């Protein structure tokens, strides 16, 4: 059975209370904007319910969203601060060889971003993610695992 969101539950309660009033104050199936335009100005409570219904139907969320803070990228640390033996064990290539591969890929048109679009990540980032992905086994190559690593 599908889960009913709090927003949908609130919308149903408001619609039901307005439809069950005497006389029925809304037409079921009419849009919220139509309901507001057809509402009489006599009853303040009705106006308040219709405005609340309009806000609920036109907004996606009924409560403020708590966004997670983005953590800083670990790429500079992996590129420059990680000891050479750790770099080799994580990315299966030595640091000089890694930068040689980056130099070969710099000029490839795949890594150029169109003028009108957002800029792509640097070649170093693409190569690090690809090498790490190819070197993982099983669930280690999942998006969440790579996201936690980088």
How far apart are the C-alpha atoms of 15 and 104, rounded to whole Å?
64
What residue has token string 């994580």?
Answer: 90
pLDDT in tens, 65-123: 888 777 788 899 999 999 999 999 989 999 999 999 999 999 888 888 777 778 888 89
118 with 85, same domain: the answer is: yes
Q: Establish if 112 belongs to a structural domain.
A: yes
Domain that residue 31 falls in = 6-58
Q: What local confidence, expressed as pLDDT, does residue 88 receive?
A: 92
For the four alpha carbons of 58, 63, 64 and 68, in that order, the dihedral sign comes to negative
Q: What local confidence, expressed as pLDDT, does residue 104 receive?
A: 92
Q: Establish if 28 belongs to a structural domain.
A: yes
98 with 133, same domain: the answer is: yes
Burial class (CB in 10 A: 0-12, 13-18, 19+), 57: middle
Q: What local confidence, expressed as pLDDT, does residue 149 receive?
A: 83
- Residue 123 structure tokens: 């070649």
pLDDT in tens, 9-24: 998 998 888 877 766 6
Q: Establish if 87 belongs to a structural domain.
A: yes
What residue has token string 């048109």?
Answer: 109
Q: Establish if 119 belongs to a structural domain.
A: yes
Assess contact for 84 and 94: CB atoms under 8 A. yes
DSSP 1-14: -PPPPHHHHHHHHH
Assess contact for 131 and 91: CB atoms under 8 A. yes
pLDDT greater than 80 at residue 43: no
pLDDT greater than 60 at residue 35: no
pLDDT greater than 70 at residue 60: yes
pLDDT more than 70, % of the chain = 84
- pTM for the model: 0.52
Q: Establish if 1 belongs to a structural domain.
A: no
Counting the structural domains of the chain, the total is 2
Mean pLDDT computed over 33-61: 73
Assess contact for 136 and 145: CB atoms under 8 A. yes
Q: What local confidence, expressed as pLDDT, does residue 94 receive?
A: 94
Q: What local confidence, expressed as pLDDT, does residue 102 receive?
A: 94
* Confidence band of 62 (pLDDT split at 50, 70, 90): confident
Assess contact for 35 and 56: CB atoms under 8 A. no
């Amino acid at each position: 059975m599908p889960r009913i969101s709090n927003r949908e539950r609130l919308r149903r309660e408001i619609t039901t209370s307005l439809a069950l009033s005497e006389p029925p104050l809304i037409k079921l199936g009419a849009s919220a904007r139509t309901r507001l335009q057809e509402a009489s100005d006599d009853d303040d409570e009705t106006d308040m319910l219709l405005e609340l219904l309009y806000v609920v139907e036109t907004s996606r969320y009924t409560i403020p969203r708590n966004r997670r803070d983005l953590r800083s990228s670990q790429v500079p640390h992996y590129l420059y601060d990680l000891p050479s033996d750790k770099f080799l064990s994580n990315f299966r290539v030595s640091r000089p060889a890694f930068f040689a591969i980056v130099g070969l890929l710099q000029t490839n048109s795949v890594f150029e971003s169109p003028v009108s679009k957002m800029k792509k990540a640097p070649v170093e980032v693409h190569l690090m993610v690809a090498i790490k992905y190819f070197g993982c086994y099983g669930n280690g190559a999942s998006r969440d695992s790579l996201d936690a690593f980088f």
